[in-house]
Amino acid sequence: MTAIHVSEVGPRDGLQSIERVMPLEAKKRWIAAEAAAGVSEIEVGSFVPPTLLPQMADTADLVAFAKTLDGLRVVALVPNAKGAQRAADAGVHAFSLPFSMSETHSKKNLRKDHAQMLEEIAACAEIARNHGIHFEVGLATAFGCTIEGAVPEDQVVRLAEAAIGAGAMEVGLSDTTGYADPAQVRRLVRRVKAAVGDDKLDTLHLHNTRGLGLANVVAGLEEGIITFDASLGGLGGCPFAPGASGNIVTEDLVLMLNSMGHDTGIDLEKLLEVRGILEEALPGEPLYGFTPDAGPMLDYNERTAA
């Protein structure tokens, strides 16, 4: 069996994309239940100004709570060095910063051009080193942008190298707008790995906007990717990318990986029960996924034992 890591990003990427604010206690129940199901890494929130994203105002409280859960790697997103310092002060195990490969998207999302973002990466890297925190840069809109359209692969490779040069410990490829296809995933993973090293790219953040999410996961697996972001119930997307919504559904991803014989360490039956927490706390909020409705295959246990 190959060990594959599923990183739950729903408490951040999912909740930042809906108008309602999920109560803190419900978020804690969600995080605790997923950890109990075997999810070993959760992005619990982001350190952005509460005036911009009130949904994330309780992130420091969630970090403190999540750190009490045995074996859970607690991750947060940061938009800049100020957010990185807040994350470090809260005690996260790791933080990530989104670096849009589309400069137009970067200016709209974080109000900084590429040169300014590289300065922020360098400042975040210093904070991470000083606090012993793992620091990843997510290469957002790496597969295309709903504002600019196609993003040149040469540009993604160049900026990936620049991010590592500025101090990022690793980079991840993010399909922020749901533009990726399997051939593109294979090609870009190969190119970025060749530029920065195999050990500095092992994560894909894929969206299912156009129904290609799981196909793109398989392409990533074939290229040696071992960490995939996903959101329970498919919550989330990017509020700054028009038309982009729908992260990969954690339940569907786990079913597929476990059925393929990979070792996620996640108990699917327990994971499916977590969905009820979202339904109770966010009544009427659309949740996605095929596995919650259809259930696992009759021979699922035999497949996972193979």
pLDDT digits (tens, 9 = 90+) for 35-52: 999 999 999 999 999 998
Q: What integer pLDDT is reported at residue 293 of this predicted model?
A: 94
For 48-57, 68-77, 129-138, 212-221, which range has the lowest pLDDT when averaged over its residues? Answer: 48-57
- Nearest-CA neighbor of 229 among 251, 250, 259, 208? 250
Which residue did the predictor score with more confidence, 306 or 190? 190
Mean pLDDT over residues 207-213, rounded? Answer: 91
**pLDDT of 193 higher than 60:** yes
Domain residues of the chain, as ranges? 5-305
Q: What integer pLDDT is reported at residue 108 of this predicted model?
A: 85
Mean pLDDT over residues 191-214, rounded? Answer: 96
Active-site residue, from 60, 151, 238, 253: 238
Q: CA-to-CA distance for 123 and 91, rounded, in angstroms?
A: 18
CATH number at 5-305: 3.20.20.70
Q: What integer pLDDT is reported at residue 85 of this predicted model?
A: 98
Q: What integer pLDDT is reported at residue 136 of this predicted model?
A: 98
Which residue did the predictor score with more confidence, 302 or 27? 27
**Is 145 among the residues known to form the active site?**
no
pLDDT band, residue 2 (cuts 50/70/90): confident
Q: What integer pLDDT is reported at residue 185 of this predicted model?
A: 98
Q: CA-to-CA distance for 7 and 230, rounded, in angstroms?
A: 6
The mean pLDDT value of the chain amounts to: 94
Whether residue 173 contacts residue 205, with contact meaning beta carbons closer than 8 Å, is answered with yes
pLDDT band, residue 210 (cuts 50/70/90): confident
Mean pLDDT over residues 32-37, rounded? Answer: 98
Q: What integer pLDDT is reported at residue 286 of this predicted model?
A: 86
CA distances, 133 to each of 77, 114, 171, 200, 216 (Å): 13, 24, 15, 16, 29
Mean pLDDT over residues 192-214, rounded? Answer: 95
Q: What integer pLDDT is reported at residue 237 of this predicted model?
A: 60
Q: Please enumerate in sequence order all residues whose Cβ is within 8 A of that of 285, keeping only pairs 6 or more positions apart, or say none.
A: 18, 20, 235, 278
Mean pLDDT over residues 248-276, rounded? Answer: 97
Q: What percent of the chain has pLDDT over 70?
A: 96
Q: What integer pLDDT is reported at residue 242 of this predicted model?
A: 52
Q: What integer pLDDT is reported at residue 109 of this predicted model?
A: 79
Read off the amino acid at residue 93: H
**pLDDT of 196 higher than 70:** yes
Q: What integer pLDDT is reported at residue 18 of this predicted model?
A: 87
Q: What integer pLDDT is reported at residue 238 of this predicted model?
A: 54
Q: What integer pLDDT is reported at residue 89 of this predicted model?
A: 98
**pLDDT of 266 higher than 60:** yes
This prediction's pTM = 0.95
Distance of CA 137 to the CA centre of its chain: 11
Q: CA-to-CA distance for 112 and 106, rounded, in angstroms?
A: 6
Whether residue 85 contacts residue 129, with contact meaning beta carbons closer than 8 Å, is answered with no
Q: CA-to-CA distance for 251 and 32, rounded, in angstroms?
A: 16
The residues pairing with 171 across neighbouring beta strands, listed in sequence order, are: 137
